[in-house]
C-alpha cells in the first residue's frame, strides 16, 4: 500500500508541474500575443503621427516659399496692426493635409512673422502642429517702384521688371494709369506688356494699407532700416554729399556726372528739387543713392543709375517726366506722378548702396512643435 501511495504522490506532482508549465506557457503566449498587438498599434500610431508631422513640415516650407512671392498680399490687410493670413488646406499625394496661418507677434511689425502649420495624416486621426518664426531685415522694398501714397502713370510712362520678379509697383494708395502708360517684363531693349489702362494684372499691388498708414519717418525706416538722422550721419561720415536749400532748387549741374556715392538733399524752402537737362547720374558699375527730403521733379531726358528716395516735401508730390530713365529703383512718400515717357527699369547694379527686395529667413531657435 505504501508503494502505491508513493507512486500516486509522484504522479500527482508530475501532473501539477505539467499544469503549471502549461499555465506559464499560456501566459507567455498570451503576453506575446498582447505584446505583438501592442507593438503593431504602436507602430501604426508612430506611422500616423509621422505622417501628420511631415505634412506640417511641408506646410512650413511651402508657407516660407509662398511668403517670398506674395509678401505684399500676406501683409497687405492688417487689422489694428496685426495680420492673420491663412493658406488654404492642401492635400498631399499620400492624402495627408496641411493648413498654414501667418501672423505677426508684434503690432505694426511685418518683418518678424510666425508661420503655424497644422498637419493631419491621411485618415485625420493624427494631428501635428509646428510653428516657425521668420524674419526679413529692415531696409527693403517689395517692388521696383514703391509708393506710400497714390500713383498716377500717364503719357507712355513705364515700369519694367525681369520675369523673375513678381511685383513692379506697390502703392499705399490707388493707381491711375492711362494714355499708353504700362508695366512690362523684360529690359530696356525688349519687353512684354503686362498691365495697362483697363487691364491691371497681379504685378501691381495698390491700396496696401500697411504702406498707406505710415508716417514719413516710419516709411523711411521701413525702406532703410534706420532713422533719417542715423542715415544722414552715415552718409556724412562716409564721405557722401549733403546739400541744403540750393537757391531755386535746381541740382542739375551739381549732380551731373556723379557716380559711386550717396547724396542727401534737404530742400524745404518751398522750391522743389529739379534735375534734368539730359544729365546722367551714376553708372551701372558705380550707382548713386539719392535721398531727397523735399519734392522731387525729374525731367528733360535725365538718366539715373541707382536708388532714389523722395519724401514729397510740403507738397506731398514727386514727379518723373520728360523721357527720363531710372535704372535701379524708387521709393516714394506721398503722391508719385509719372508722365511723358518717364521709365523705371530694373537693373542689377554692382556695388549698389540701396535697399534690395529682401527675403524672409527662418529665425534660429524659434521652431516649436505641439
**What's residue 16's pLDDT?**
78
Per-residue buried b or exposed e for 75-96, using 16+ beta carbons within 10 Å of the residue's own CB = bbebeeeebebebeeeeeeeeb
**What's residue 108's pLDDT?**
73
What's the rounded mean pLDDT across residues 332-338?
95
**Higher pLDDT residue, 230 or 91?**
91
What's the rounded mean pLDDT across residues 19-46?
74
93, pLDDT greater than 80:
yes
What's the rounded mean pLDDT across residues 342-346?
93
**What would the grid cell of residue 241 be?**
554729399
What's the rounded mean pLDDT across residues 206-229?
88
The conformational region for residue 364 under phi > 0 = left, psi -120 to 50 = alpha, else beta, is beta
**What's residue 160's pLDDT?**
95
Q: What are phi and psi of 325, to 5 degrees?
A: -125, 130
**Higher pLDDT residue, 331 or 22?**
331
**What's residue 357's pLDDT?**
42
Domain ranges of the chain: 22-140+358-370, 145-345
| 89 DSSP 8-state letter | E
Q: For the chain, what is the mean pLDDT?
A: 86
Cβ(179)–Cβ(173) below 8 Å: no
The rounded distance, in Å, linking the Cα atoms of 329 and 310 is 12
What's the rounded mean pLDDT across residues 306-335?
91
134, pLDDT greater than 50:
yes
pLDDT level of residue 351 (50, 70, 90 thresholds): very low
**What's residue 72's pLDDT?**
65
What's the rounded mean pLDDT across residues 218-230?
84
For residue 283, give the nearest of 303, 300, 308, 254 by alpha carbon. Answer: 303
What's the rounded mean pLDDT across residues 54-77?
86
Other C-beta atoms closer than 10 Å to the C-beta of 23 total 10
User: Which residues lie below 8 Å from residue 2, measured CB to CB, with a gap of 6+?
Assistant: none
What's the rounded mean pLDDT across residues 96-122?
91
Strand bridging mode 303-310 / 288-293 = parallel
| 82 DSSP 8-state letter | B
Most confident of 32-36, 237-241, 250-254, 349-353: 250-254
**What would the grid cell of residue 7 be?**
507512486
133, pLDDT greater than 50:
yes
**What's residue 353's pLDDT?**
45
What's the rounded mean pLDDT across residues 320-349?
90
Amino acid at each position: 500500500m505504501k508503494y502505491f501511495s508513493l507512486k500516486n504522490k509522484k504522479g500527482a506532482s508530475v501532473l501539477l508541474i505539467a499544469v503549471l508549465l502549461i499555465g506559464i506557457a499560456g501566459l507567455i503566449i498570451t503576453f506575446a500575443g498582447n505584446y505583438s498587438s501592442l507593438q503593431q498599434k504602436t507602430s501604426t500610431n508612430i506611422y500616423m503621427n509621422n505622417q501628420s508631422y511631415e505634412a506640417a513640415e511641408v506646410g512650413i516650407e511651402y508657407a516660407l516659399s509662398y511668403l517670398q512671392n506674395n509678401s505684399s498680399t500676406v501683409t497687405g490687410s492688417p487689422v489694428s496692426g496685426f495680420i492673420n493670413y491663412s493658406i488654404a488646406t492642401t492635400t498631399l499625394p499620400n492624402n495627408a493635409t496641411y493648413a498654414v496661418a501667418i501672423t505677426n507677434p508684434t503690432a505694426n511689425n511685418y518683418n518678424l512673422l510666425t508661420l503655424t502649420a497644422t498637419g493631419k495624416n491621411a485618415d485625420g486621426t493624427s494631428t501635428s502642429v509646428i510653428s516657425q518664426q521668420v524674419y526679413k531685415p529692415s531696409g527693403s522694398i517689395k517692388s521696383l517702384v514703391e509708393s506710400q501714397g497714390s500713383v498716377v502713370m500717364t503719357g507712355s510712362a513705364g515700369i519694367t521688371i525681369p520675369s523673375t520678379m513678381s511685383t513692379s509697383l506697390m502703392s499705399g494708395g490707388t493707381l491711375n494709369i492711362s494714355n499708353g502708360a504700362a508695366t512690362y517684363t523684360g529690359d530696356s531693349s525688349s519687353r512684354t506688356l503686362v498691365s495697362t489702362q483697363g487691364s491691371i494684372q497681379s504685378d501691381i499691388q495698390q491700396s496696401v494699407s500697411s504702406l498707406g498708414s505710415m508716417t514719413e519717418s516710419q516709411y523711411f525706416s521701413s525702406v532703410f532700416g534706420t532713422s533719417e538722422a542715423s542715415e544722414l550721419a552715415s552718409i556724412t561720415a562716409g564721405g557722401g554729399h549733403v546739400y541744403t536749400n540750393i537757391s531755386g532748387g535746381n541740382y542739375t549741374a551739381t549732380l551731373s556726372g556723379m557716380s559711386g556715392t550717396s547724396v542727401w538733399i534737404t530742400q524745404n524752402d518751398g522750391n522743389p528739387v529739379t534735375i534734368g537737362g539730359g544729365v546722367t547720374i551714376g553708372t551701372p558699375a558705380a550707382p548713386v543713392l539719392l535721398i531727397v527730403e523735399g519734392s522731387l521733379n525729374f525731367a528733360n531726358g535725365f538718366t539715373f543709375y541707382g536708388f532714389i528716395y523722395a519724401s514729397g516735401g510740403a507738397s506731398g508730390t514727386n514727379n518723373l517726366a520728360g523721357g527720363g530713365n531710372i535704372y535701379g529703383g524708387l521709393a516714394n512718400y506721398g503722391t508719385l506722378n509719372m508722365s511723358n515717357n518717364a521709365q523705371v527699369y530694373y537693373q542689377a547694379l554692382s556695388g549698389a548702396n540701396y535697399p534690395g527686395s529682401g527675403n524672409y529667413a527662418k529665425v534660429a531657435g524659434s521652431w516649436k512643435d505641439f
